[in-house]
Structure 1
Amino acid sequence: MEYPEVREVDPAVADALVGEVDRQRETLSMIASENHVSKAVLEAQGSALTNKYAEGYPGARYYAGCEFADDVEELAVERAKELWGAEHVNVQPHSGTQANMAVYLAMLDPGDRILSLELNHGGHLSHGHPANFTGQLYDVEQYRVDEETGYIDYDALAEQAEAFEPDVIVSGYSAYPREVEWERIQDVADSVGAYHLADIAHITGLVAAGVHDSPVGVADFVTGSTHKTIRAGRGGIVMTGEEHADDVDAAVFPGGQGGPLMHNIAGKAVGFGEALEPEFEAYAEQVVANAEALAESFADDGLEVVSGGTDTHLVLVDLRESHPDVSGGDAEDALADANVVLNANTVPGETRSPFDPSGIRAGTPGLTTRGFEEDDLREVGDLIHRVVDADGDEAVVADVRDRVAELTDAHPLYE
């Protein structure tokens, strides 16, 4: 991937693009929200559809010349319906956050109430953080996981909902490693007259493959990202029943954004098509198996794994007991020097700053795409522990970096 056309016009950008491909090839990409899409998805996203404005929806655009844009969007919608079993799908949101925004705009008025999981306990900015539009427009109260177990306390959630009387309850999380009991949350929402928004941004692929229970058909609204475990074009998606379809569509356009990014929707269509192939289920199963192996490796090395393990694609580690003098930021920086890329993350009961928290979050989607299996992830877990335990020892970091190079060479990317 040399980008010869870009290089001819703009060598500086070409250098950055080639450098990024090399960086991805030479590092272990373990940020839980990242993945490596196929060359077909990359090609679709770089297509001439980037030139086309297509405001509106297929068959009802505000511009002429949208016949092929309509074809692509209809393919993306129909494939999404088949993947997730949804009655109505909108593939136009530019991101998972804008998918959430569409639901809020469709169903809430400013000042209405949202009950969602606290960011430090695994929630997301768009679920009600005060720095986000949700925290600024709506009255937000947040529930927590049980700090001893790392699991959601559904009985406590029900009690909190009864007292708070929210208009929307948000489930689905960014750093929660366990299965979500969608029906229990729907029961709580029904009992207090609230809508239930299930944000499956991280687990879209796991749900599509059937390796994680689905909230589609349970929750009133399901949103997600389309570039994480599902490995499709970058953006967001909203799924709902026909009852709310028109309101959601109007909230996406013109309510929350203008013209859709048709080149990204092309990438979504291609990625959804790939996910409908039988091998995708095996991929999703391997993502979870690899995460379980990684969690076991961490635990065997004496690291505290939040909730004691994982049911999904991510593992959350609390460093406070095993390495009290090492922050998540320290670990992230040291691991980046060893070409292991993951992120510092808050943990339940966080005692440090959210800008330099106590934990690290590691995901397996990208490594699984490269062909890593359980034994590989057990070794990767050991390598991560060695770096965290090294206290800045450059010899250890260099040794791990050399082993990472061997692993990435054995599992090539974008050949």
Structure 2
Amino acid sequence: MSEQSPVLPYAKAASTAYDAALEVIASVEPRIAEATRQELADQRGSLKLIASENYASPAVLLTMGTWFSDKYAEGTVGHRFYAACQNVDTVEALAAEHARELFGAPYAYAQPHSGIDANLVAFWSILAHRVETPALEKLGAKSVNDLTEQDWETLRHELGNQRLLGMSLDAGGHLTHGFRPNISGKMFHQRQYGTDPETGLLDYDRVAELAREFKPMVLVAGYSAYPRRVNFAKMREIADEVGATLMVDMAHFAGLVAGKVFTGDEDPVPHAHVTTSTTHKSLRGPRGGLVLAQEEFAADVDRGCPMVLGGPLSHVMAAKAVAFAEARRPEFAEYAQRIADNAKSLAEGFLTRGATLVTGGTDNHLVLLDVRSFGLTGRQAESALLEAGVVTNRNSVPQDPNGAWYTTGVRLGTPALTTRGFGSSEFDTVAELIVDVLSHTTAGTTKAGAPSKATFVLADGVAERTHARIDEMLARNPLYPGLELT
């Protein structure tokens, strides 16, 4: 069991800052101030296991609430389309510097507003590097503005006629990895690779076969719900063999890369041509995006604005710089290792209680629980757990019979509760509580009496006893200890 969480550094100053901020907000719209207070109370009182969520430090959070929000700054450092951007230049340069040092990347671009923005910047940077630039050189033009209408139509056809190979959604990939309803599935001719139907693990030989057959321009690696590590050296070998650009989306596990839990072949940054990430999740920063690149793609990524992005969020870039600075401290590496250790404890807790996990376990930050053995859909399990005070999200499993809405799985991650100080014994207890809740949940029926994939019945008293045990654990590991609002 973990020790009592230490009082947050500068807790008194943070308390004063938030009290003052909420007082100012309440003077204009008190309902927003009240919702903000309630959100803190709700987060403090629930067991947050959503793999894509975390708790940013007060320093990161407070950095976002400044007058940098008021400044337009399209362009790049030293080359803006607006005047008086010298302070934004400082902020963006510091964010990029910290990111380069943190990840050992030659180039970093801190402007993307989100993960999908980062991926769009990456996609279009790759297309610009591999299609637009050679076409302009061939036509003797400096930019697309110099092309004739016919030349431009030819270039547009080339840009929109490329191939992408990414991980399928049900195997653990992300919407932006070529899922047809997503923009990535519309802008590319796409194919998707899955996992071995027996083990749930990536089959690199099969990925290589698909790549040789499909010959993609872009090979996307990375995941949002795959509970294992990836050999990015092998993915680069596959990309090189077919002449593809390797793009890695490390949004979910960036904190494990920053904390040097993933090294060597499991560190994507040295192997990928372009690496994208969010800056929250396991990295514990503000909500936003990041692109890292090898030198050959740096100039193309640097055109993210105006290619894909508009005005950068300068206040969020400032918060990214603060978060990256925090992640460069030795204690962040210790935190990242605890994330992985706690995920193993959570997985073992499920397995010893007879639950079924996709791939049979984990070696990253997340666990994917298959709830068919409980007779439930993912949506029913998610809702029952929420009623008992456990916040999770339903998720597809490989070859999911219930589709992407109802699903057959529940995804659980350890970053947030690890931030609160939870250790191995607590995560074993978490597994016990989840199995208990799901074992006492039955599928509901529709109004017509037919089986339902959404409704559920939780046995009497289960939610109350689960809340009571959760409250005990949360009291030992308070969120933002020492931060008190009046």
TM-score range, shorter chain: over 0.9
1:283 Cα deviation from its structure 2 partner: 0.1
Q: Deviations over 1:192-220 (max 9, x none)?
A: 01000011000111001110131112111
Distance 2:174 2:276 in 1: 13
User: Equivalences for 1:178-197 in 2 at 5 Å?
Assistant: 178-197=228-247
User: What CA deviation, in whole Å up to 9, does each residue of 1:53-91 have, x standing for no partner?
Assistant: 111111111112212111111111110000100001100
Q: Which amino acid aligns with 2:270?
A: G
Q: Is 1:171 aligned to 2:221, yes or no? A: yes
Show the counterpart of 2:326.
274
39, 44, 60: which is aligned to 1:41? Answer: 60
Q: Which amino acid aligns with 1:201?
A: A
Q: For the Cα contact (< 8 Å) 1:204–1:229, is it kept in 2?
A: yes
Q: Is the 8 A contact 1:95 1:235 kept in 2?
A: yes
Return the offset for 1:127. 0.7
Q: Given the alignment, which residue of 280, 285, 307 partners 1:232?
A: 285
Residue 308 of structure 1: which of 356, 360, 373 is its match?
360
- Which residue of structure 1 aligns with residue 385 of structure 2? 335
Which residue pairs with 1:244 in the alignment?
A: 297
Query: Offset of 1:353 from its aligned partner?
Result: 2.4
Q: Residue 82 of structure 2 aligns to a residue in which SS?
A: coil
Which whole-Å CA distance do the structure 1 matches of 2:285 and 2:41 have between them? 21
Letter in 2 for 1:57: T
**1:289-325 Cα shifts (integer Å, max 9, x gaps):** 01000000011111111111111110001112x22x2
Cα deviation 1:103-156 (Å, max 9, x = unaligned): 211223212100001001101011111111111111110000112111100001
Question: Offset of 1:278 from its aligned partner?
Answer: 0.6
SS state of the match for residue 367, structure 2?
strand
Deviations 1:235-292 (A, max 9, x none): 1111111111111111x11011111001111110000000011100000000000100
**Map of 2:130 onto structure 1:** none
* Greater Cα radius of gyration, structure 1 or 2: 2
| 3-state SS in 2 of match to 1:89 | strand
Q: Contact between 1:233 and 1:266, CA under 8 Å: does it hold in 2? A: no
* 4+ residue runs over 4 A deviation: none
Q: 1:319 aligns with which of 350, 366, 371?
A: 371
- Aligned letter for 1:12? R
Q: CA RMSD in A?
A: 1.0
Tell me which amino acid in the other structure corresponds to 1:365.
P
Of 275-284 and 212-221, more deviation after overlay is shown by 212-221
Post-superposition offset of 1:332: 0.5
The residue type paired with residue 301 of structure 2 is V
Deviations 1:347-366 (A, max 9, x none): 01211121100000000000
Match of 1:349 in 2: 399
Question: Is 1:290 paired with 2:342?
Answer: yes
**C-alpha distance in structure 2 between counterparts of 1:282 and 1:381, whole Å:** 23
Q: Which amino acid aligns with 2:269?
A: V
**Are the counterparts in 1 of residues 371 and 381 from structure 2 also a CA contact under 8 Å?**
no
Match of 2:45 among 14, 26, 32: 26
Shift of 1:394: 3.1
CA contact (8 A) 1:234 1:267 kept: no
Instruction: Work out the CA distance in 1 between the residues paired with 2:474 and 2:30.
Output: 27
Q: Is the 8 A contact 1:294 1:378 kept in 2?
A: yes
- What is the DSSP-based 3-state SS (H/G/I as helix, E as strand, rest coil) of the residue aligned with 1:354? helix
Q: TM-score scaled to structure 2, two decimals?
A: 0.84
Cα distance in 2 for partners of 1:268, 1:56 equals 18
* SS at 2:269 equivalent: coil
The AA in structure 1 aligned to 2:241 is S
Q: Which amino acid aligns with 2:121?
A: A
C-alpha distance in structure 2 between counterparts of 1:398 and 1:349, whole Å: 35
Question: Residue 408 of structure 2 aligns with which residue?
Answer: 358
Of residues 128-137 and 178-187 in structure 1, the stretch that sits farther from structure 2 once superposed is: 128-137
Query: Which of the numbers 423, 430, 434 marks the counterpart of 1:373?
Result: 423
**How many residues are matched?**
412
1:410 maps to 476
Q: Secondary structure at the match of 1:333?
A: helix
Percent identity between the aligned chains?
44
Tell me the distance in 2 between the aligned counterparts of 1:360 and 1:256.
Answer: 34
The DSSP-based 3-state class of the residue aligned with 2:281 is coil
SS of the residue 2:248 aligns to: strand
Which amino acid letter does the alignment assign opposite residue 406 of structure 1? E
* Deviation string, structure 1 residues 29-49 (Cα, Å, up to 9, x no partner): 110000000000000011221
Secondary structure (helix, strand or coil) at the match of 2:311 reads coil
Decide whether the 8 Å contact of 1:338 with 1:404 is kept in 2: no
- Work out the CA distance in 1 between the residues paired with 2:403 and 2:76: 44
Which AA in structure 1 matches 2:103? W
Partner of 2:406: helix, strand, or coil?
coil
Which secondary structure does the structure 2 equivalent of 1:116 belong to? strand
What does residue range 97-246 of structure 1 map to in structure 2 within 5 Å?
Answer: 97-108=116-127, 109-212=159-262, 213-246=266-299
Q: Give ranges in structure 2 of 5+ residues lacking alignment.
A: 1-17, 128-158, 442-457
Q: Match of 1:263?
A: 315
State the TM-score, normalizing by the size of structure 1: 0.98
